Amino acid sequence: MKAAKKTKGKVSALQSVKGMRDLIGDQVFVFQGFCEKAAEIALYYGFKPIETPILEKEDLFARGVGQDTDIVSKEMFTLKTKGGDRLVMRPEGTASVMRAYAENGMHSWPQPVMFYYSGPFFRHENPQRGRYRQFYQFGLEILGSPKSILDATIIKLTTTILEESGFNNYTLKINSIGDAECRGAYRRDLVNYYKKNLKGVCADCRERIKTNPLRLLDCKNPMCQEIKKDAPESIASLCGPCKAHFKEVLEYLDAMNIPYEIDSTVVRGLDYYNLSVFEWVADGLTLCGGGRYDPLIEMLGGRPAPACGFGIGVERVLELMRAQAVDLDTGGCDVYIVHQGEGVLEAAFQAAERLRDAGLDVILHGGGGGFKAQFKRADASGAFAAVVLGE
């Protein structure tokens, strides 16, 4: 009674949580198909799978992703255990993989250590096109090496995943935000520029000038886009070694004929990045984001281990593929068994089992209806053959 009053009749027990959806039938096939293809490609490159828990300690993301990021300041699903621990439904994958690396002594494994993962992630965002509260990511991590060829490998692999999935209508944007030192000088330039343009930016951005100036470039508010255009560029402030790293990454991309755009507004929304940062965008949406995050493991209290990686938003990629009429593999069955009359039911049942034993996917018609209706169902199932039994 109390609970019913509280919800004022607006929320029904038969409604899923806002921003969270069911995936049904073919939708699951399409999701799994994409992640399986991505995993298969990652295996070709020597990556191994990793599965980390959905729940992690709040501190992992507060320290790793950063207190002033959107994710930590407003988007985390946090819960308190009976013992008083504060846990979080993971909003992203990298910090967890870093934790696993440190916790499982992977520092002493042959480096680099390379992982792929996929699964659900949770962010308390405003649901809209390509933005949900539970969404899926496929991600890659390379830990234990600072080499620029690994940044390029991540980019090449992501490009291959998108292309092998039948999707090639996107732009790869790349930038370098340097290391802690050159970023200091850049941050000062950026703050000075934005202080001069305070009137042209949103309230969030006025706050970001104080808390996290780089994030100014990541703002999605339409009113801030004009000012963003003329903001100083991080690559202009890079020190010698950072410049060299960026040049090497670009040279590898050129050597592999991977088209890219250098975009100084790409900074990524998380605190842990340094050097290369990249995003694949299409139709106004960021499909995947990644880069290098050498300082992350130390931010978490671990021994140093340079790393890079990326995450693809599976919903966004699939939605755009659908919009661009890319053929999505939805599985289907091989044989549909049509039958009529009580007398043939057992024979139909046995025929289905024999065909399944022979390795075929078989649907035995389970509803009512005459032959005509059943043939319609057989057609819709996508089966290449129908077996027909009648009295």
Q: Which parts of this chain interact with ligand ATP (CB under 6 A)? A: 92, 123, 125, 130-132, 135, 137, 269, 286-289, 311, 313, 315-316
Sheet containing 86-89: order of strands:
55-57, 86-89, 77-80
Nearer to ligand ATP, 125 or 283 (CB): 125
Nearer to ligand ATP, 308 or 362 (CB): 308
Place of tokens 């320290």: 63
CB of 284 to ligand ATP, least distance (A): 10
Nearer to ligand ATP, 123 or 292 (CB): 123
Torsion sign over Cα 57, 61, 66, 67: negative
Nearer to ligand ATP, 215 or 339 (CB): 215
Q: CA 169 to CA 100: how far, in whole Å?
A: 35
Nearer to ligand ATP, 20 or 223 (CB): 20
Tokens of 201: 């930016």
CB of 126 to ligand ATP, least distance (A): 9
Strand, coil or helix: what is 233?
coil
Q: CA 192 to CA 341: how far, in whole Å?
A: 83
Tokens of 248: 């090497």
CB of 323 to ligand ATP, least distance (A): 15
CB of 390 to ligand ATP, least distance (A): 50
Tokens of 386: 């129908």
Q: CA 138 to CA 136: how far, in whole Å?
A: 7
Nearer to ligand ATP, 7 or 169 (CB): 169
CB of 300 to ligand ATP, least distance (A): 17
Tokens of 65: 């992703």
Q: CA 42 to CA 138: how far, in whole Å?
A: 11
CB of 391 to ligand ATP, least distance (A): 53
Q: CA 356 to CA 377: how far, in whole Å?
A: 19
Residue nearest to ligand ATP (CB): 313
Nearer to ligand ATP, 75 or 294 (CB): 75
CB of 100 to ligand ATP, least distance (A): 19
134 contacts: CB under 8 Å, gap ≥ 6 = 17, 19, 20, 21, 120, 121, 122
CB of 274 to ligand ATP, least distance (A): 15
Nearer to ligand ATP, 190 or 288 (CB): 288
User: Strands 285-292, 362-364: parallel, antiparallel or unpaired by DSSP?
Assistant: unpaired
Q: CA 71 to CA 88: how far, in whole Å?
A: 11
Quick check: 254 and 283 in contact, CB under 8 A? no
Q: CA 65 to CA 45: how far, in whole Å?
A: 27
